[in-house]
């Protein structure tokens, strides 16, 4: 194994990990507030097509700012679509599993509808913004050679960890997720906090989606997120609802997905390529079982997760 190979592999791992890390970090905040939003995959797709459409249509006018504007648009689109879920699940107290699923189906449909006109187009990739003398040599590339979104994802997971555990607002958010009735009775606006948490989750899912259409393959393809939104959901359970373990788990899955890519590319494989493609999902199930078998997952989940709360009723 040469150094170049190891560096390539490292860069691939970071690349495939970033979107699931972003989406899972957003979902972690939503779940900590007591809401489970299964619409991650749909919100990611809406983010992916929004970023691509903005970059394609306005890119020439925006110049260097184009990818940044595109990613911000993806965040706004993700947050906006999450509000569909929020109105139903929070204000109208609907079943969260079904509502989240509806959002995913909606996101798949809406993104293909908008994306129909963009199939086959490309935009410039949203690559490293560091000067070339930093990214030139191999070691520099491992540190500086990524899209800004990679650093943003790492920053967000630390920021969310700090917010949840070290700030008063984070404490209130956790309280809402652990005991909505008590939080309400001492005067915290339970639903408003949950709305905000869902919007944050939607924004990060949107950015995660933009990573697919702006960084991995700077083009649009239907359902290009390929089920990674569901991996992000499993990742939250895997993490035991803790930011630190979320980061570890994301890289664990990232390594698995990289193995898949390398096994496919090298042609050298004693196992069929489909096995590697199924690997992240098989491992997600295995990992969920192992985590839950230790009896920790159940006790770590926010107590009000998935339960509607109707203060006006």
Site of interaction with other proteins (CB under 8 A): 38, 84, 87-88, 92-95, 97-99, 101-103, 105-106, 108-110, 112-113, 116, 181, 184-185, 227, 230, 233-234, 237, 272, 274-275, 277-278, 281-282, 284-285, 288-289, 292-293, 297-298, 308-313
Q: How far is the CB of 210 from other proteins (least distance, A)?
A: 20
- The nearest distance, CB 61 to other proteins, in angstroms, is 24
User: What is the rounded CA–CA span in Å between residue 91 and residue 100?
Assistant: 15
Q: Shortest gap between Cβ of 249 and other proteins (angstroms)? A: 14
Q: Which is nearer to other proteins, 3 or 313 (CB)?
A: 313
SS3 (DSSP) at 217: coil
Distance, CA of 245 to CA of 236 (rounded, Å): 9
Nearer to other proteins, 113 or 248 (CB): 113
User: CB of 119: closest distance to other proteins in angstroms?
Assistant: 11
For other proteins, the closer of residues 16 and 38 by Cβ is 38
CB of 102 to other proteins, least distance (A): 4
CA 238/CA 222 separation, integer angstroms: 28
CB nearer to other proteins: pick between 165 and 292: 292
Tokens of 56: 């394609």
Radius of gyration of the chain (CA): 20
Nearer to other proteins, 16 or 84 (CB): 84
Give the three-class secondary structure for 311.
Answer: coil
End-to-end CA distance of the chain: 64
**Residue that has been written with the tokens 């699940």 in this structure:** 89
- In angstroms, the CA 213 to CA 123 distance is 9
């Amino acid at each position: 194994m040469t150094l170049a190979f190891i560096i390539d592999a490292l860069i691939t791992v970071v690349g495939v990990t970033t979107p699931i890390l972003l989406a899972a970090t957003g979902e972690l905040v939503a779940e900590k507030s007591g809401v489970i939003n299964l619409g991650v995959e749909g919100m990611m797709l809406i983010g992916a097509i929004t970023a691509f459409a903005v970059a394609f249509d306005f890119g020439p006018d925006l110049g260097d700012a184009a990818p940044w504007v595109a990613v911000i648009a993806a965040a706004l689109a993700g947050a906006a679509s999450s509000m569909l879920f929020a109105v139903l699940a929070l204000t109208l107290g609907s079943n969260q599993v079904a509502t989240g699923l509806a959002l995913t189906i909606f996101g798949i449909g809406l993104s293909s509808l908008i994306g129909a006109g963009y199939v086959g187009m490309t935009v410039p990739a949203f690559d490293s913004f560091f000067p070339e003398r930093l990214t030139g040599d191999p070691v520099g590339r491992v540190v500086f050679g990524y899209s800004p979104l990679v650093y943003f994802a790492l920053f967000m997971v630390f920021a969310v960890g700090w917010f949840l555990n070290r700030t008063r607002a984070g404490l209130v958010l956790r309280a809402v997720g652990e005991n909505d009735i008590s939080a309400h009775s001492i005067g915290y606006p339970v639903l408003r906090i949950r709305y905000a948490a869902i919007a944050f989750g939607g924004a990060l899912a949107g950015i995660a989606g933009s990573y697919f259409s702006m960084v991995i393959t700077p083009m649009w393809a239907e359902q290009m997120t390929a089920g990674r939104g569901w991996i992000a959901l499993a990742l939250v359970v895997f993490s035991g609802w803790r930011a630190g373990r979320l980061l570890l788990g994301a890289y664990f899955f990232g390594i698995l997905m990289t193995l898949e890519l390398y096994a496919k590319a090298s042609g050298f494989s004693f196992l069929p390529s489909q096995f590697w493609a199924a690997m992240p999902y098989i491992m997600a199930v295995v990992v969920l079982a192992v985590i839950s078998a230790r009896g920790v997952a159940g006790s770590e989940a926010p107590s009000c997760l998935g339960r509607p709360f109707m203060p006006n009723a």
